[in-house]
């Protein structure tokens, strides 16, 4: 079986972090996000096709570096073709029923169980569904008995949202669906194709556990915090956290990171080779090689690779792009630094 990964979005809502890397390579704890995508396909899928468009060279060299170069094909779209157009664009690589997956999903879905469900149900295909308290941000689905989808509306208004079941961004589709799309044309799978196939049998597989769309800074932080909650604390052996550091679980600290005193956590992830000085860090993500000065406070923020924060500074609700330097004595709230 083959899987098509929709990875062509520019990750605009994650700027400035996605100026310097594709969304698929944003770190989540110890690994870039794309690894969580590949984890769904440890078995049963022999070819993974990335429909990509933004920073493709970086994605390709990362795939080679983790030894996935042969199972993974990366197809580049010159101009974004939309979620449907992107699948149509790789039609020549598809024959049997295939999986489509949004590249920005962190979830507990059991892919084998989903595939078995879809094979049993038949019709034009199936999609995975997850309950949400803010369905209007997503594709909203109405299910009837027998798990049949009777309505699909992409991003309705809050008042219009008729159910709390949302499209989790995982599809099993019959190749016939490709006949409904014109080649080289922008097509939205959710707005133009799904409403058409409802009459031909389209099924919804509900799952529980966790599901996060890592599309915005707050949902990125939510994804990291969710995994920290599930996995618990992990501090790499090759890091040096002083005895005087107050650790509030759960946290993740990568190799070669150093902290002398202060507080770390809860819900905080620190990459490799960071120097955290005497800071207090809560609810935040620090990418690799971040350097914090003396008496720095970081709360609910994301600090990109190589960020340097001067002494006596505080950051709250901030997103700092790779390599940025924050002057000493700064006090930043809800700011993005590193915008182009």
Binding site for Mg ion (CB under 5 A): 104, 213, 215
Nearer to ligand GDD, 33 or 235 (CB): 33
Nearer to Mg ion, 9 or 283 (CB): 9
Q: Which residue is nearest to ligand GDD (CB)?
A: 8
190 binds ligand GDD (CB under 6 A): yes
Choose one: 31-39, 74-82, 251-259, 301-309; the region binding ligand GDD (CB under 6 A).
Answer: 74-82
193 near ligand GDD, judged by CB under 6 A: no
The answer to whether the bond into 37 is cis (omega within 30° of 0) is: no
Nearest alpha-carbon partner for 286 in 278, 294, 275, 295: 275
Q: Does 81 bind ligand GDD (CB under 6 A)?
A: yes
297 binds ligand GDD (CB under 6 A): no
Cα radius of gyration (the chain): 21
Establish if 192 lies at the interface with ligand GDD (CB under 6 A).
no
First to last CA, the chain: 41
Task: Give the one residue of 62, 138, 172, 203 binding ligand GDD; rule: CB under 6 A.
Answer: 138
Cβ neighbours of 21 (radius 10 Å): 23
3 state SS of 44: coil
Please identify, using beta-carbon distances, which residue of 213 and 322 lies nearer to Mg ion: 213
Binding piece for ligand GDD, criterion CB under 6 A, among 2-10, 198-206, 238-246, 329-337: 2-10
Distance, CA of 317 to CA of 141 (rounded, Å): 33
298 is a contact residue toward ligand GDD (CB under 6 A): no
Nearest-approach distance from CB 169 to ligand GDD, in angstroms? 4
Q: Shortest Cβ distance from residue 167 to ligand GDD (Å)?
A: 4
Cα–Cα dist 214/204, whole Å: 22
Binders of ligand GDD among residues 91 to 130 (CB under 6 A) are: 102-105
Report the distance separating Cα 166 and Cα 147, nearest Å. Answer: 14
Of 60 and 260, which CB lies nearer to ligand GDD in the complex structure?
60
Please, which residues have CB within 8 angstroms of residue 266's CB and are 6 or more apart in sequence?
Answer: 228, 248, 249, 250, 251, 282, 283
Binder of residue 138, out of Mg ion, ligand GDD, none (CB less than 5 to 8 A by kind): ligand GDD
Distance CA 211, CA 129 (A): 10
Contacts (Cβ under 8 Å, ≥6 apart) of 248:
263, 264, 265, 266, 282
Q: For ligand GDD, what does the binding mask look like between residues 216 and 255, x meaning CB under 6 A?
A: ----------------------------------------
The yes or no reply on residue 262 touching ligand GDD (CB under 6 A) is: no
53 near ligand GDD, rule: CB under 6 A: yes
Report the C-alpha gap between 259 and 253 in whole angstroms: 10
Length of the chain measured in residues: 340
Region of 7-15, 38-46, 310-318, 330-338 interacting with ligand GDD (CB under 6 A): 7-15
Give the one residue of 27, 169, 262, 265 binding ligand GDD; rule: CB under 6 A: 169
DSSP per-residue codes, 129-188: EEE-S-GGGSEEEEEEGGGEEEEEEES--TTT---SEEEEEEEEE-GGGGGGS-TTS---
Cis peptide before 166 (omega within 30 of 0): no
CB of 106 to ligand GDD, least distance (A): 10
Rounded to the nearest whole angstrom, what is the least distance from the CB of residue 12 to ligand GDD in the complex? 9
Using CB under 6 A, list all residues that contact ligand GDD. Answer: 6-9, 51, 53, 77, 80-83, 86, 102-105, 138-139, 154, 166-167, 169, 190, 213, 215
């Amino acid at each position: 079986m083959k899987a098509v990964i929709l990875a062509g979005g520019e990750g605009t809502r994650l700027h400035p972090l996605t100026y310097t890397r594709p969304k698929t390579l944003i770190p989540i704890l110890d690994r870039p996000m794309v690894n969580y995508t590949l984890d769904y396909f440890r078995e049963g899928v022999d070819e993974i096709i990335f429909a990509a468009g933004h920073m493709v060279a970086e994605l390709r060299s990362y795939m080679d570096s983790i030894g996935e170069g042969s199972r993974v094909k990366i197809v580049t779209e010159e101009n974004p073709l939309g979620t449907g157009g992107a699948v149509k664009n790789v039609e020549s690589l598809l024959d049997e029923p295939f999986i489509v997956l949004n590249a920005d999903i962190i979830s507990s879905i059991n892919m084998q169980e989903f595939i078995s469900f879809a094979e049993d149900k038949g019709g034009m295909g199936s999609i995975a569904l997850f309950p949400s308290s803010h369905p209007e941000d997503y594709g909203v689905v109405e299910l009837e008995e027998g798990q049949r989808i009777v309505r699909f509306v992409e991003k309705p208004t809050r008042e219009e949202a008729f159910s709390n079941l949302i499209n989790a961004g995982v599809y099993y589709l019959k190749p016939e669906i490709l006949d409904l799309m014109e080649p080289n044309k922008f097509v939205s799978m959710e707005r133009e194709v799904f409403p058409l196939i409802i009459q031909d049998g389209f099924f919804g597989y509900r799952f529980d556990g966790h599901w996060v769309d890592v599309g915005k800074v707050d949902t990125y932080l939510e994804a990291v915090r969710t995994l920290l909650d599930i996995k618990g604390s992990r501090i790499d052996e090759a890091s040096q956290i002083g005895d005087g550091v107050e650790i509030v679980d759960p946290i993740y600290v990568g190799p070669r990171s150093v902290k002398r005193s202060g507080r770390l956590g809860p819900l905080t992830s620190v990459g490799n080779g960071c120097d955290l000085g005497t800071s207090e860090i809560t609810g935040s993500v620090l990418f690799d090689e971040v350097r914090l000065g003396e008496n720095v406070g970081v709360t609910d923020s994301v600090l990109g690779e190589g960020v340097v924060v001067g002494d006596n500074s505080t950051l709250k609700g901030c997103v700092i792009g790779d390599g940025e330097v924050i002057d000493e004595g700064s006090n930043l709230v809800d700011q993005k630094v590193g915008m182009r």
